[in-house]
Amino acid sequence: MNTSVPVITAWRVSTHSGGEGNCVEIGQTPGLVGIRDTKNRDGGTLLVDRAAFIAFLTSITR
């Protein structure tokens, strides 16, 4: 199977990240959100459906 990997070019770190090095950053591409570790940016990206990511954020901010 040939699956293309979406390219995410604009990444941002959460404003809630502290100075302890426990940061993640997110980036968006149409329909998907990418999540990666700021200490290991080449270590891989977790891709999540955008609607599922929004539902996750909504559930944890209540």
Residue 14 located in a structural domain = no
For residues 46 and 62, give the distance between their C-alpha atoms in angstroms, rounded to a whole number: 24
For residues 30 and 14, give the distance between their C-alpha atoms in angstroms, rounded to a whole number: 20
The percent of residues above 90 in pLDDT, for the chain, comes to: 56
Q: Which residues touch 49 (CB under 8 Å, ≥6 apart)? A: 31, 32, 33
Residue 34 located in a structural domain = yes
What digits encode the pLDDT tens for the residues 27-59? 999 999 999 998 899 999 999 999 999 999 999
Quick check: 26 and 9 in contact, CB under 8 A? Answer: no
**The whole model's pTM is what?**
0.79
Residue 39 structural domain: 23-60
Residue 18 located in a structural domain = no
- pLDDT of residue 22 exceeding 80: no
Residue 37 located in a structural domain = yes
